[in-house]
Amino acid sequence: MNIEINMTNKLVKESLNITFSRGGDDKISSLGIGKKKMIQTWLDEMNIFDYFINDDLTINCPSSICLPDNYGNLPDYIQFNEVECNCNFRRCKMTSLKGSPYRVGGSFMVDDNKLTSLEFAPLYCQEISILNYLTWV
């Protein structure tokens, strides 16, 4: 009985090693789990299909991004790095800009949210639209 369990364990480990060696660089994501897979799923759900996930799990988008109205804050596992065109977070009911891009090549739009500060806003953007951006407490 003990020999059979050890042999099964050995076969499972060898099978996993074969899968990983053929799976490319992102072994966990190839299994459909992990943080990178969560990021990919979220981007797909937001209809953001033109993106690249960097090694540090930040996201680069060579086009514009737009979140749906009333979406809320970005999930903790989402951190945009660069958005080459526009970033539209209007009317999302955001209370924080955490996860927003560090750099936006076009306009960064956060009108009509429930923000109390501009902490985590991009360090660089061509234009920022912040009408009615602050909720004073």
The reply to whether 25 and 53 lie within a common domain is no
The pLDDT > 90 percentage for the chain reads 65
Range of the domain at 85: 34-129
pLDDT in tens, 76-111: 999 999 999 999 999 999 999 999 999 999 999 999
CA–CA separation, 17 and 20 (whole Å): 5
Looking at this protein, which amino acid is placed at residue 102?
Y
Question: Which pLDDT value is given to residue 85?
Answer: 97
The answer to whether 120 touches 95, Cβ cutoff 8 Å, is no
Instruction: Work out the pLDDT band at 130, boundaries 50, 70, 90.
Output: confident
The reply to whether 24 and 72 lie within a common domain is no
Region of 84 on the Ramachandran plot (φ > 0 left; ψ -120 to 50 alpha; else beta): alpha
The reply to whether 99 and 119 lie within a common domain is yes
Q: Is residue 61 part of a domain?
A: yes
Question: Which pLDDT value is given to residue 4?
Answer: 59
The reply to whether 47 and 95 lie within a common domain is yes
Work out how many domains the chain is built from and give that number.
2
* Dihedrals phi, psi of 107, to nearest 5 degrees: -90, 140
Q: Is residue 137 part of a domain?
A: no
The reply to whether 62 and 17 lie within a common domain is no
CB atoms within 10 A of CB 60: 16
The pLDDT > 70 percentage for the chain reads 72
